[in-house]
């Protein structure tokens, strides 16, 4: 900007002269100020012979430019606090035009709360000391602008007591600082509240920070105290290993010279932090068992990451600890439940199969032998039934303990369920005979040990085991097959009179293979609908058909029509009888429904055989009810044939189920009567409708006096029990006549008709023998 001012000559009037002088002095002052502040580039000095223009140049001009262009605000202030110069930057900071700043007081630009500090300095007598202050200035809109102000008194030659102020706007700096502060706060809040223990360690391994979770994990309230007294370094040993992978992996493990800390520690090379600091290793999720300061044992996951400075030097480490004690306990509990029997704590079937797999693999490598002992307690069921399951459980627990004492710790003792136990022996002789001898002597020991009396509460119990043994060799037999072999041998032991040992042999193997094949075929047969029902008539003494017995047949695709004698036993053992029995029930109901369509057959009853396993099924009653409803059968037309042994198996269950079925309207026949040991008083408790004299008595009833006597006795007794009798297996007319003469009115046998398809039931044929 260019402006020119003129200095005029003086007037001669003293009063006006004084006034003019004053005015001129004020103007001069203003000019000088203008020169100082850069408002003037050139000066016209008037003289007698005109005037002269003086250009303002040089250092002062440079300084002025410098002050104008500088990035800081700058002002000069009179001794009493009025601004007489402000640079562009200051005007921008305050948002006030420069002209408006000149003449204003500095105090009015300072926020009220900060004014006093400035006032105090202002009132210090001249020369004032240089002073720096952080104050909030006020912008034109009244907003606070955080600034740094540097006050410097100007040399007295310039203006007495005047001072300059350099103003730095701290807004950006402050908000950056605030952002950093907030970020730090956020981070700290996160770290303090993390459910993971976090440690910071310096290069000496001293703890510089530990969050509350870290303290909690290690049972210390304030871990920082350990860092004060350690004097320890990463190189220092901190104690020995206290157990399985036991160790301190945190800073306290490194830094501690405290006895308690020594207890926590393990060999330094095991400590994650030490390895991170010493070797720059990054360690992730090492599982460690620790002893924390409060004495509790914990399992933690420990990770450590080295911290580097800008030059890449390791200056410490950050360690993370996660307490997984509860998780481990839960995992162990799950494993316990999944792999161990809850009653005896022995390995269960699943774990046994796994161990057996390992033993088999080892045997294939080593050419040694192993053996499986399949142990079943004799008459265990009787104990359970008579004294209750609690007492039975006590026996099983004691058996489990005794078994474990009979074998080496490397052998496996498992409980399969019920009263079945399995012992797996490995490391037996490579020579088969010797290995069998070894297995035999261990089995004998088991037998002796289990035969000792048991104290079951106040009761002394005697129990014996039946043991099946199978050698494990390097052949291709699978784990399942090996188990089945031992199982089979155990059944042989049972059949041999119990309390004995039987070895699986090759003949058994052939039978076993056959059985396995048959079982698979049976399963397939059921799936493919290969079963049919044949019907054998039951007649009265006039030869009139009163009903029939349904007898299942297997239409085997290769072997033709098979008698149930060849497969019922296997179906029962394999459990397939449940499926087969249900099919028979449905097919019989369907047949009864079909007969209902023909008025003459409408009153026929149909007897079906029920196996014990089927009858014991919890859903048996419901299954029968469903079948009756499905085919709309009048229940009294269906007769269930139950054997004596079935009825005696679990008396209470039998009575309960029979009563439920009787309520539905079903009828019952006692099959094979005379072959068992039924007590008559007991039979009276059962809701029976009919006795079937077993075919074995009928067979020789005319030739064998004993059989004749038995049959007579049964026929004499039955009316007293209120039960009609059917004699089965009647093949000759002589047999029929004997039976009729002794009061029998129901017959079944080849004499009246062989079992055959439904449409072969022929009333005329029956009448021949009437
Ligand atoms: N759980 C189930 N068991 C069933 C079922 N079907 C049959 N069976 C049982 O299988 C066993 C053998 O039955 P099967 O070969 O059919 O033999 C029966 C008759 O054919 C035979 N019988 C009948 N009359 C005579 C005769 O005059 N002589 C002679 N030698 N045999 C004859 O007797 C068998 C009937 O026995 P029973 O059941 O005891 O009345 C057999 O035990 C059947 O029970 C089934 O579906 N489920």
Determine if ligand 1 sits within 6 Å of the CB of residue 672.
yes
Query: Is the pLDDT assigned to residue 442 strictly greater than 60?
Result: yes
Q: What is the pLDDT of residue 400?
A: 97
CA distance 251 to 248: 8
Are the C-beta atoms of residues 44 and 6 closer than 8 Å to each other? yes
Residue nearest to atom 20 of ligand 1 (CA): 755
Averaged pLDDT for residues 62-73: 83
Using a 6 Å cutoff on CB, does residue 671 contact ligand 1?
yes
pLDDT digits (tens, 9 = 90+) for 602-627: 778 999 999 999 999 999 999 999 99
pLDDT classification of 242: cutoffs 50, 70, 90: very low
Nearest CA, atom 15, ligand 1:
563
Query: What span, in angstroms and rounded, lies between the C-alpha atoms of 207 and 257?
Result: 13
| Ligand 1 center to 548 CA (angstroms) | 12
Q: Whose CA is nearest to atom 29 of ligand 1?
A: 729
Q: How far is the CA of 552 from the centre of ligand 1 (A)?
A: 9
Per-residue confidence (pLDDT) for residue 336, from 0 to 100? 84
Determine the residue of 532, 538, 551, 582 to mutate for testing ligand 1's pocket, defined as the one with the most ligand atoms within 8 A of the Cβ atom.
Answer: 551
Report the separation in Å between the CA atom of 698 and the middle of ligand 1, taken as the mean of its atom positions. 14
User: What pLDDT, on a 0 to 100 scale, did the predictor assign at position 57?
Assistant: 55
pLDDT of residue 467: 97
Kind of pairing, strands 144-153 and 314-323?
Answer: unpaired
Using the mean position of ligand 1's atoms as its centre, give its distance from the Cα of residue 607 in Å: 11
510 — pLDDT class (breaks 50, 70, 90): confident
Does pLDDT of 180 surpass 60?
yes
Average pLDDT, the chain: 83
**Ligand 1 in reach of 694 Cβ (< 6 A):** no
Which structure tokens are listed for 628?
């009756």
Query: Atom 31 of ligand 1 has which residue's CA nearest to it?
Result: 729
Of the candidates 291, 288, 287, 316, the one whose C-alpha atom is nearest the C-alpha of residue 207 is: 316
Q: ∠ CA(471), CA(477), CA(478), 5° rounding?
A: 110
- pLDDT range class, residue 47, cuts 50, 70, 90: very low
Q: Is 15 in the pocket of ligand 1 (CB under 6 A)?
A: no
Predicted pLDDT of residue 521: 96
Q: Is 756 in the pocket of ligand 1 (CB under 6 A)?
A: no
Atom of ligand 1 nearest to the CA of 551: 6
pLDDT at residue 565 greater than cutoff 70: yes
Candidates 364, 318, 73; CA nearest to 199 is: 318
CA distance 724 to 673: 12
Mean of the pLDDT values across residues 407-426?
Answer: 95
Whether residue 551 has its Cβ less than 6 Å from ligand 1: yes
> Lowest-confidence range among 140-144, 290-294, 754-758?
290-294
208/150: higher pLDDT = 150
The predicted pLDDT at position 88 comes to: 92
**Is residue 235 over pLDDT 50?**
no
CA trace torsion 595, 601, 602, 605 (10° rounding):
-90
Residue nearest to atom 10 of ligand 1 (CA): 564
> Using CA positions, which residue lies closest to atom 47 of ligand 1?
609
- Atom of ligand 1 at shortest distance to CA of 672? 39
pLDDT band at 230 (very low <50, low <70, confident <90, very high): very low
- pLDDT interval class at 665 (50, 70, 90): very high
More confident site: 42 or 77: 77
Q: What average pLDDT does range 242-264 have in this prediction?
A: 37
Which own/partner contact pairs does 136-144 have at CB distance under 8 Å and 24+ positions apart?
136/110, 136/111, 137/93, 137/94, 137/109, 137/110, 137/111, 137/167, 138/94, 138/108, 138/109, 138/110, 138/111, 139/93, 139/94, 139/95, 139/96, 140/94, 140/95, 140/96, 141/95, 144/111
Question: For residue 16, is pLDDT > 60?
Answer: no
Cα atoms found within 13 Å of the Cα of residue 79, Cβ hemisphere only: 11
Cβ partners under 8 Å of residue 752, min gap 6: 537, 538, 539, 543, 730, 765, 766, 769
Q: Which of 535, 564, 612, 643 to mutate to test the pocket of ligand 1 (most atoms within 8 A of CB)?
A: 564
Nearest-CA residue for ligand 1 atom 25 is 729
Weakest mean pLDDT among 302-306, 553-557, 644-648: 644-648
pLDDT at 233: 35
Q: Are 728 and 698 in contact (CB under 8 A)?
A: yes
Nearest ligand 1 atom to alpha carbon 552: 6
Give mean pLDDT, residues 346-356: 94
Selection from 285, 251, 291, 280 nearest residue 268 by Cα: 251
pLDDT-based confidence at 678, cuts 50/70/90?
low
Q: In this predicted structure, which of 18-32, 334-348, 390-404 has the lowest mean pLDDT? A: 18-32
CB 452 within 8 A of CB 446: no
Taking the CA of residue 581 as reference, the ligand 1 atom at the shortest distance is 47
Average pLDDT over residues 726-754: 96
For position 42, what pLDDT does the model report?
52
Q: Is 438 helix (H, G, I), strand (E, B) or coil?
A: helix
Q: In the predicted model, is pLDDT for residue 365 greater than 60?
A: yes
Q: Tell me if 755 CB under 6 Å of ligand 1.
A: yes
CA–CA gap between residue 169 and residue 71 (Å, rounded)? 10
| Ligand 1 pocket member 728 (CB < 6 A) | yes
* Lowest mean pLDDT across 59-63, 279-283, 493-497, 688-692: 59-63
Q: 163-169 and 73-77 as β-strands: parallel, antiparallel, unpaired?
A: antiparallel
Sign of CA dihedral 193, 194, 197, 199: negative
CA 729 – ligand 1 centroid, Å: 9
Distance (Å) from CA 550 to ligand 1 centroid: 9
Q: Give residue 661 CA to ligand 1 midpoint distance, Å.
A: 23
The yes-or-no verdict on residue 63 having pLDDT over 70 is: yes
pLDDT at 31: 52
Tally Cβ neighbours within 10 Å of residue 330.
11
Question: Could you identify the atom of ligand 1 that is nearest to the CA of residue 755?
Answer: 20
Closest listed residue to residue 417, CA positions, set 469, 450, 374: 374
The pLDDT score that the predictor gives to residue 39 is: 55
| Per-residue pLDDT, 252 | 38
Ligand 1 closest atom vs CA 533: 46
Å from CA of 580 to ligand 1 middle = 15
Query: For residues 533 and 591, is the Cβ–Cβ distance under 8 A?
Result: yes
- Please answer whether residues 578 and 586 qualify as being in contact, where contact means their C-beta atoms are separated by less than 8 angstroms: no
For 122-161, the pLDDT digits (tens) are 998 778 888 999 999 999 999 999 999 999 998 876 678 8
Q: What is the mean pLDDT of residues 492-499?
A: 91
Residue 680 binned pLDDT confidence (cut-offs 50, 70, 90): low
Percent pLDDT > 90 in the chain is 55
460 or 272: whose pLDDT is higher?
460
Distance 569 CA to ligand 1 centre (A): 13
Q: What is the mean pLDDT of residues 407-430?
A: 94
Among the listed ranges 562-566, 642-646, 653-657, which one has the minimum average pLDDT value?
Answer: 642-646
Residue/partner pairs of 85-93 with CB below 8 Å, 24 or more apart: 85/33, 85/36, 85/37, 89/167, 90/167, 93/137, 93/139, 93/145, 93/147, 93/167, 93/169
Contact 564 CB / ligand 1 (< 6 Å): yes
- Strands, E, within 527-657: which ranges? 531-540, 545-556, 560-562, 605-609, 638-643
């Amino acid at each position: 900007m260019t402006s020119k001012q003129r200095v005029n000559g003086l007037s001669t009037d003293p009063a006006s002269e004084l006034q003019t002088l004053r005015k001129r002095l004020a103007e001069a002052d203003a000019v000088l100020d203008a020169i100082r502040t850069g408002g003037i580039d050139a000066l016209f000095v008037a003289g007698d012979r005109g005037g002269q223009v003086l250009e303002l140049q040089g250092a002062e001009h440079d300084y002025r430019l410098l002050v104008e262009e500088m990035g800081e605000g700058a002002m000069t202030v009179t001794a009493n606090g009025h601004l007489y110069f402000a640079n562009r930057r200051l005007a921008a900071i305050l948002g006030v035009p420069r002209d408006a700043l000149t003449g204003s007081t500095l105090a009015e630009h300072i926020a009220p709360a900060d004014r006093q500090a400035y006032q105090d300095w202002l009132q210090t007598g001249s020369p004032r000391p240089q002073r720096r202050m952080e104050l909030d200035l006020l912008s034109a809109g009244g907003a606070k602008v955080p600034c740094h102000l540097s006050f410097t008194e100007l040399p007295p030659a310039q203006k007495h007591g005047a001072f300059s102020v350099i103003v730095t706007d701290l807004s950006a700096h402050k908000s950056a600082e605030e952002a950093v502060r907030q970020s730090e706060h956020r981070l700290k809040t996160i770290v303090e509240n993390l459910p993971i223990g976090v440690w910071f360690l310096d290069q000496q391994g001293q703890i510089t920070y530990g969050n509350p979770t870290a303290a909690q994990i290690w049972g210390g309230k304030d871990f920082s105290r350990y860092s004060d007294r350690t004097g320890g370094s990463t190189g220092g040993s901190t104690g020995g290993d206290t157990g399985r992978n036991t160790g301190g992996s945190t800073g306290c493990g490194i830094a501690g010279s405290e006895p308690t800390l020594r207890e926590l520690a393990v060999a330094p090379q095991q400590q994650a932090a030490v390895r991170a600091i010493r070797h720059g290793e990054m360690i992730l999720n090492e599982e460690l068992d620790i002893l924390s300061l409060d004495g509790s044992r914990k399992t933690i996951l420990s990770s450590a990451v080295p911290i580097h400075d800008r030059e890449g030097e390791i200056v410490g480490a950050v360690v993370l600890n996660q307490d997984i004690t509860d998780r481990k306990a839960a995992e162990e509990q799950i494993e316990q439940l999944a792999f161990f029997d809850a009653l005896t704590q022995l390995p269960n079937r699943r774990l046994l199969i796994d161990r057996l797999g390992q033993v088999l693999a080892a045997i294939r490598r080593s050419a040694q032998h192993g053996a499986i002992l399949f142990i079943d307690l004799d008459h265990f069921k009787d104990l359970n039934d008579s004294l209750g399951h609690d007492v039975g459980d006590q026996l099983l627990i004691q058996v489990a303990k005794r078994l474990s004492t009979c074998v080496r710790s490397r052998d496996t003792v498992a409980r399969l369920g019920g009263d079945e136990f399995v012992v797996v022996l490995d490391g037996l002789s490579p020579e088969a005979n010797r290995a069998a001898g070894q297995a035999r002597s261990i089995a004998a020991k088991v037998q002796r040990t289990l035969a000792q009396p048991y104290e079951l509460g106040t009761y002394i119990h005697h129990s014996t085991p039946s043991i099946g043994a199978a050698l494990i060799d390097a052949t291709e037999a699978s784990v399942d097959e090996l188990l089945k072999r031992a199982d089979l041998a155990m059944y042989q032991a049972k059949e041999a009179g119990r309390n004995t040992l039987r070895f699986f042999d090759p003949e058994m193997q052939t039978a076993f293979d056959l059985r396995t094949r048959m079982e698979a075929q049976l399963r397939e047969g059921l799936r493919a609908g290969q079963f049919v029902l044949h019907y054998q008539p039951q007649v009265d003494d006039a030869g009139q058909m009163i009903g029939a017995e349904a007898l299942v047949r297997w239409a085997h695709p290769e072997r033709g029509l098979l008698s149930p004698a060849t497969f019922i036993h296997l179906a029962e053992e394999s459990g397939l009888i449940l499926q087969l029995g249900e099919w028979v029930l449905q097919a019989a109901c369907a047949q009864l429904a079909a007969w209902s369509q023909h008025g003459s057959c409408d009153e026929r009853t149909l007897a079906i055989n029920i196996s014990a396993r089927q009858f014991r099924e919890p859903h048996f009653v419901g299954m029968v009810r469903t079948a009756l409803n499905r085919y709309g059968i009048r229940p009294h037309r269906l007769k269930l044939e139950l054997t004596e042994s079935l009825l005696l198996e679990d008396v209470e269950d039998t009575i309960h189920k029979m009563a439920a079925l009787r309520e539905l309207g079903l009828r019952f026949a006692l099959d094979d009567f005379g072959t068992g040991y039924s007590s008559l008083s007991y039979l009276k408790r059962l809701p029976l409708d009919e006795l079937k004299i077993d075919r074995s008595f009928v067979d020789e009833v005319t030739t064998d006096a004993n059989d004749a006597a038995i049959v007579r006795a049964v026929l004499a007794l039955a009316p007293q029990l209120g039960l009609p009798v059917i004699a089965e297996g009647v093949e000759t007319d002589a047999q029929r006549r004997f039976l009729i003469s002794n009061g029998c009115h129901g017959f079944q046998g080849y004499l009246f008709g062989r079992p055959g398809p439904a449409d072969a039931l022929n009333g005329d044929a029956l009448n021949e023998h009437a």
